Amino acid sequence: MEKTLVILKPCTIQRGLIGEIISRFERKGLCLAGMKMTWLTDEILSEHYAHLKEKPFFQRIKDAMSVCPVIVCCWEGVDAIHVVRQLAGATNGRNAQPGTIRGDYSMSVQENIVHASDSPETAAIELKRFFNDDEIFNYKMNNLLALYAND
Ligand code: IDP
């Protein structure tokens, strides 16, 4: 089992899509291991988007991520990091495949509904960045056989 970080971005909160997006992950069969609402600071966003600090849109995405609180989630499942990235779709909502979250709900490269960790290394760092240890819950769903059989 892997755990991965998802952030429901301010555009998702503003557009009233919280339930819709959480449902997509639930219906896929992922297990919710942590969730909270938080207002991101410029400091944490500078760390989170450090890989983009030379980009002309760096300040713009940080501002967009702090117009209102976000919802941070930890989802768990077999290959959860890959599965969640696939569900999220391509960065630019206008290029993302229909059927993906961004493909179905976003018309923008910036306002693209969710953040999703892109590798096991990143997921571990990002979960620590946004959650305290006691905010991540280890429990088992009682539907694992129906979800995974003997994979
Ligand atoms: P990802 O979110 O698909 O992993 P990254 O390249 O890590 O993509 O970019 C982080 C976030 O920065 C994107 O989700 C998007 O909100 C924003 N972003 C990326 N490229 C652009 C751009 O060209 N213009 C404006 N915002 C962008």
Beta carbons within 10 angstroms of residue 14's beta carbon: 11
The whole-angstrom separation of Cα 80 and Cα 120 is 9
**Complex confidence, ipTM:** 0.98
What pLDDT, on the 0 to 100 scale, is given for residue 90? 98
Atom in ligand 1 nearest the alpha carbon of residue 111: 16
Tell me phi and psi for residue 18, to 5 degrees: -55, -55
* Residues with catalytic function: 115
The residue among 39, 17, 21 whose CA lies nearest residue 75 is 21
Q: Write out the chain's pLDDT in tens, 151 residues.
A: 999 999 999 999 999 999 999 999 999 999 999 999 999 999 999 999 999 999 999 999 999 999 999 999 999 999 999 999 999 999 999 999 999 999 999 999 999 999 999 999 999 999 999 999 999 999 999 999 999 998 8
What pLDDT, on the 0 to 100 scale, is given for residue 150? 85
| Residue linked to tokens 């391509």 | 90
Beta carbons within 10 angstroms of residue 124's beta carbon: 16
Among 49, 100, 110, which is best to mutate for testing ligand 1, by the most ligand atoms less than 8 A from CB? 110
The residues spanned by each domain of the chain are 2-136
The whole-angstrom separation of Cα 54 and Cα 115 is 19
Pocket lining: 110 vs ligand 1, CB cutoff 6 Å: yes
Atom in ligand 1 nearest the alpha carbon of residue 9: 16
The CATH number assigned to the domain with range 2-136 reads 3.30.70.141
Q: What is the pTM of this model?
A: 0.97
